Structure 1
């Protein structure tokens, strides 16, 4: 039947034109004859009255029972909307609980007598969250939110958890999760945001309940965890020498520590996460009992320091999730965010559907901890380091998941995230953290470390020259025939002032002595280095470096000036501009030496070694990558404050090597003499 706007219909009844009035009366009589529309309009009108704080004198147990009956039995959407709106107002109406023996017409208590008559009420209410009508979904969720809030606020500590558990058993979490991922998020934003906030309220409330063995429920939870660990089998294994099994069960010295607690007083270890931590641990033990028992069995064969602390890990994951989802954030902050964020993209950031799957995320995070503990061969003292890695993992995977990403995909990503990727991410985050905190100081540290790395690599490259190397020789005589010599050996002198070289028929068994090399070049006469070696384009602006066109064979050509016939020798050039002095401005460059390296690695070492001994910047990508690598490792070591023995040795630190006749009175000649 056609939907009629009541306000418009009433306006037409007072119209001056007779034809308009007749049509209005005709439609009115038809709608009055339709009990569905009449009831829908009546319910909606009464709901509006309650919203403006009118009509409360008409609210009684009979009305509440009639409204609950409509929600359970009536199929029409427009009737259900109005009925639910009325109940939202009744449940949400400010009130002070009176004597429990007296009936209450406000709050959740007002509905309990009617729900006792129609026990399918809550099930029908949750089922409406799957309706194709978004307005009905919103009304149903608003009513569920009102019931949850009033129950948490006014019911006893023994009652409200049962009500919340019943809603969860009916599938409210899954239904709201689907709505949060739906494309029609904008239509349901207000009630969905309230449900998300109420979820945080529940988590806070559970966290704030201190664990106490005086509480029967808490004792039962601890006992359940102990029994799920299969203590009988463990006790049997612990009595290898014929001890009485029953006595072992009663007085097991590590009853709780073997489960991963730090002490034999487990209740005291829940002080940070309260009963919420107990719920998470108990849920894991219950739903993954076989895995739990298998782990305990495997751990029992290891030394105590190598056993994975299951309980401590579980409490740590609970704490990580609590911080990640900002559970302590007030509902007022969430409401302000909604008022500010009106765009679709902003809503995507505001809603966190994964929060609703807290338990599944806890299990996935805990299993990731177990995996990393095993992969890193961690020990007890490494617990804090592993917890930090899990924190980064959850921040990355859970925090990086979009609103529509399914929880199963998140679980798989947590399970498959590679350890080395996680370590790289940890270093990136660490550098960003220090960048924010230190700013200019960190940049100064980077510059210092880069300079140190440059000096370190410079020394390494120059030492390659000091060690010497063989190079192929392709020289020809004046008549064009190949000379007898096929190779040459080149070596830097110990004082680093001369480059000695000589030609040989073949490569001998060992390197020739420096005195056996007949030729030498005074490095003070070198003007430039020409090479066809591929270079790093970022460093191609060096003034004394020339790069020749690339050819089939790699070569390095050293250019310089003929030695002066008179005058004293000068030291190597320390400036730019080809290393020339004013008196050499008219001299002509000549080829002093050509090197043909056998490999690209040797070519990089010698080209950059020659440049760096002339106080020029290196140009090959290999050398610059090595400088960056050394500098980055230095930065990471400073940021992490890692001791050498921690970084180098996974097990026991090896003994310091000794030699007969060696005492502590020695030193290293780092630079090899000059």
Structure 2
């Protein structure tokens, strides 16, 4: 049955002709052709519809939804009317929520599955979620998760995952439930559609720590840690989740094993969970967590993904892992070596035992000689690792463990030489750590500026081993003496630059081959490089200055990128990619253009869609819709295509085979769904927005464009040269290091007042 109605405010007949016609299907099967004035509220439209259809129940018991089940609200009704969307009259969300909560107690498997399937969609709506929570729906949903299996469990977990998109309503999840999710995810027999939402739930809990709360936090008086306001969902975090993960040893092993899953989405979700854990790891459990990842060869698994993955979906996750690994390296490099710390002492003990040396006393001074036999300058181990930190100790330990016979043989050989001719192996190891840190710009725990895969970076310890062996060989072949240490360091730096070039396209065996190069050829190439280089740049004070300037440059570029987001820009609404779950032909966006602008609080990305560009006023009044920044889990690039005939007919179907634009990007949420698909007008705007949005992410992020990476490097080098002009212009000699003088003989002194 079809009827006709007109829902308008007081306007002329001529104006009515301009109002689009929408189809509204009622609960009894009647279809009404309606002209709906976009200035009316949804409540007014529903009331008039109930009057026209002579529905006796209060109009507040009903609501409008699009055919896709999206709820029509005052915010999106204008868009639905203009796009001539097919609508349907349905129960109001609060009625649907009550009925759904009641059905969750059903013992009929079919009824339960259908209810949970619908719940997955509806629970994202606040108008549904709030009454659902009031009717004790969450507790019933959790009971199902704890007892169900198969598709029923998958639907229930997905419903909870969608609820957790809200920043309230799930603060009652306790340790027992978190452990249940850990157990579900740990089971190798769990279905993929079960593992995906379970992984996403754990990731969300990890990120829901008090420090991430957009509101105030309370300080804990007992431990000095931030704690959540009562009732806030920001009460979990890494420590809470990891405590339950420790009870199930198989969890991390299972998650890491799924990185190589044939199901790309499963590998992507697993990678996102690992990245989230790395980014939020607490100081108390950080060492334990990373040690577990190392035992499971996580870095090796990620390196395998770099060459085997066939989907762009994983690219962003891999780059995030690289950025997180740089944080790991930086953290270890800035952690002091404590010889009395049991774990540090154990590493030192292995190194000493591996050398095969014995302690002895100097006949002239009576001092004990131990660590100096291995190539340190002093017996003060803490001071010797002052620059390279725990990273230096671990690299030296790995060097020894790789081939203990070789290490012992080299040490014996060096000790048997005259003092001036000995290669300071321990000192060389630390220097290689510095050279590698310099090469990969490990200057701060911030973002990685690499826009390509870096498999050699993830093999940091192996590269260190090869480079240290190369150092020893260059020392021996060049017949170096103690005064030649800096010269050999420069030689190794030159070789690293050549060997680690084009990292994303070279094979590991090529790296090993390059480190076997002979002294003569290495020296000849280095001499050519020195014609264009300056030995001044290799000195420790200059390297430290470069690190400082790098941090300042990165922060400057970050502020510039964020400023571009605050100003806003126009983008083309792109044709989204066809997902593996939906092979239907993509459809052209209803409007060609979108203006995006970040709010001053850096929490929401506001936007408006339009058929043509128009002048956007300052502020957010013209921008009617928004995306919450915290919901963005990934900024995927090169993902979508520009519709052909951009200004042409908007109703034609598009072919599936459209090629993605290099200037496109998509904002992906934790479910893997795209919240926005845009194409930038040029490469600069693309770099501003993709990198700016990445830099806003608290859980990490990476630079996606070479332009941004180039800016950071260029600013660093320019700043360094300007600083050096003040010194080199006056021919000031820059020492390789500073030596502290002896301490005061007594405390009878004071500091003068300047």
Using structure 2 for the length normalisation, give the TM-score. Answer: 0.47
Alignment partner of 1:321 out of 403, 423, 436:
436
- Show the 5 A alignment for 1:129-278: 129-151=259-281, 154-156=282-284, 159-184=285-310, 186-232=312-358, 253-278=368-393
Please report how far the alpha carbon of residue 7 of structure 1 lies from its aligned counterpart in structure 2 after TM superposition: 9.2
Distance across 2 between alignment mates of 1:251 and 1:169: 44
Q: Is 1:295 aligned with 2:410?
A: yes
Match of 1:391 among 482, 493, 497: 493
Q: Deviations over 1:365-415 (max 9, x none)?
A: 0000111111111111111100110011011101x143143334312321x
Contact 1:71 1:84 in 2 (8 A): yes
Is the CA contact 1:230–1:293 (under 8 Å) kept in the aligned structure 2?
Answer: yes
131-140 or 419-428: bigger deviation: 419-428
TM-score, scaled relative to structure 1? 0.52
C-alpha distance in 1, partners of 2:320/2:247?
29
Q: Of the candidates 524, 539, 548, which is equivalent to residue 424 of structure 1?
A: 524
Q: State the distance in 1 between where 2:86 and 2:404 align.
A: 72
Cα distance change of structure 1 residues 54 and 426 upon mapping to structure 2, 3 Å threshold = same
Within a 5 Å distance, the mapping from 1:60-99 to structure 2 comes to 60-73=174-187, 74-95=189-210
How far apart in 1 are the matches of 2:202 and 2:307? 27
Distance 1:62 1:167 in 2: 24
The aligned residue for residue 39 of structure 1 is 153
2:400–2:407 CA contact under 8 A, matched in 1: yes
* Conservation of the 8 A alpha-carbon contact between 1:59 and 1:105: no
Structure 1 residue 253 displacement after superposition: 4.6
Gaps of 5+ in 2: 1-64, 71-84, 90-109, 118-148, 212-218, 229-233, 538-754
What per-residue deviation string (whole Å, max 9, x for no partner) do you get for residues 410-446 of structure 1? 12321x22323222321232223379x9xxxxxxxxx
SS at match of 2:532: helix
Secondary structure in 2 matching 1:56: coil
- 5+ residue gaps, structure 1, are 1-5, 17-27, 239-246, 338-346, 438-674
- Find the structure with the greater CA-based Rg: 1
How many angstroms apart in 1 are the aligned matches of 2:286 and 2:503? 32
Cα separation, partners in 2 of 1:330 and 1:204, compared to 1, 3 Å: closer
Residues of 2 paired with 1:312 and 1:378: CA distance?
Answer: 15
Residue 38 of structure 1: how far off its partner (Å): 4.1
Whether the 8 Å CA contact 2:113–2:155 is kept in 1: the answer is no
Q: Distance in 2 between matches of 1:164 and 1:401?
A: 28
CA RMSD of aligned residues (A): 3.6
For residues 225 and 332 of structure 1, the distance between their equivalents in structure 2, rounded to whole angstroms, comes to 33
2:482 corresponds to which residue?
Answer: 380
Q: Which structure has the highest helix share of the two?
A: 1
Closer, same or farther in 2 for the Cα pair 1:7/1:88, shift >3 Å?
A: farther
Deviation of the 1:317 alpha carbon:
0.5
In 1, the alpha carbon distance for the partners of 2:276 and 2:446 equals: 15
Matched, 1:356 2:471: no
2:531 is the counterpart of 1:403? no
Offset at 1:201? 1.0
**1:429-478 deviations in Å (ceiling 9; x for gaps):** 2223379x9xxxxxxxxxxxxxxxxxxxxxxxxxxxxxxxxxxxxxxxxx
CA distance in 1 between counterparts of 2:352 and 2:377 reads 15
Deviation of 1:37 after TM superposition, in Å, equals 3.7
Give the match for residue 722 of structure 2: none
Offset of residue 186 of structure 1:
2.3
For residues 404 and 41 of structure 1, the distance between their equivalents in structure 2, rounded to whole angstroms, comes to 42
**Cα shift readout 1:618-657 (whole Å, capped 9, x = no counterpart):** xxxxxxxxxxxxxxxxxxxxxxxxxxxxxxxxxxxxxxxx
Counterparts of 2:334 and 2:534, CA distance in 1: 33
Answer whether contact 1:357 1:407 (CA < 8 A) is retained: no
Partners of 2:404 and 2:302 lie apart in 1 by 29
User: Structure 1: how far apart are the matches of 2:311 and 2:464?
Assistant: 26
